[in-house]
Amino acid sequence: MNGFIPLHKEAGMTSFDCVAAVRKLAHQKRVGHGGTLDPDVDGVLPICLGVATKLVDRLQTMPKTYTGEITLGFATDTEDLSGKEIDRQRLTVPFTALAIDQAMASFQGAYDQTPPLYSAVRVNGKHLYEYARAGETVTRPTRTVHVYHFDRTSAPVFNEETGEQTFSFTAQVAKGTYIRTLASDLGQRLGVPAVMSQLTRQASGGFQLAESVTLADLAAAPLTDFVRPIQAVFADMPIEDLTPAAWTRVQHGNYLRLTRPATDGNELFLRYGGDIQAIYRYETQTGTWRATQMLLHETTGKEAE
């Protein structure tokens, strides 16, 4: 089985839990996902089956959209509510909506972000969370991420008793951006500790939450009812149907000359026997199409070993 399933991951499950459940339902080992969601976060988790697992990197280049809640006034070691409180600064005067909006707008575009200590980022071959759990000190790498938009979506609510202020938000970001760190960094710009108090991923890999299905849905009907074909997910990618002679060349990794207009770097899917077999890229210098990625190698749909 090859293709994608837009899964609605429930809070309380890991992304791997979801993959393991789909493997059991699909009766196949080759199942992956298109971008980890923390256990406490719910929302869209693209599931990849068969040769679609080779396209995970392409899925992850698509923007991700989130909705959630940020609380000002305290911080945790995980930057969300699952962690231990490490800082608290009681607010005596709430921030104005304008002050919050201006601070949020300052993150739009590229900014340097240091991932949370409790994350899967690797340093010297180990995940950061492994250092955290062992109580070991490690320098976290700072990297440039991209925020397309980061906007407040509710009136800020101030709790005089706790000295906390909470509001809802929406954010669209590029690959590698940690939303809980974005919330924490917002607090720093405002001069107070902050935490991401709730998060839902609304869109990922081109899928929207409204079209996603639950594990219960998958268990109640044939899995094939929910699998999206590769070409449907990458609808903007043109498709070239191969002749038997061209398919023979593709099987050997050879270049192709196709009678279609193209500019340098253009890509397309090559289809044969009803299956997407490969992705080729056009080279202006040679006037040929060259292999970028091989997907299937038999017209029966058998996955490449």
Residues carrying an active site annotation: 38
CATH topology (fold) of 237-294: 2.30.130
**CATH architecture, range 3-61+205-229:** 2-Layer Sandwich (3.30)
**Neighbouring residues of 183: CB distance < 8 A, sequence distance ≥ 6:** 68, 70, 79, 194, 195, 196
Walk along the chain (305 residues) and give the pLDDT tens digit of each residue. 999 999 999 999 999 999 999 999 999 999 999 988 989 999 999 999 999 999 999 998 899 999 999 999 999 999 999 999 999 999 999 999 999 999 999 999 999 998 887 777 788 888 788 887 888 878 888 999 999 999 999 999 999 999 999 999 999 999 999 999 999 999 999 999 999 999 999 999 999 999 999 999 999 999 999 999 998 889 899 999 999 999 999 999 899 999 999 999 999 999 998 899 999 999 999 999 999 999 975 444 444 33
CATH 2.30.130.10 intervals, the chain: 237-294
CATH 3.30.2350.10 intervals, the chain: 3-61+205-229, 64-204
**CATH architecture, range 64-204:** 2-Layer Sandwich (3.30)
For the entire predicted model, the pTM comes to 0.90
Instruction: Name the one residue in this structure whose structure tokens are 């044939």.
Output: 222
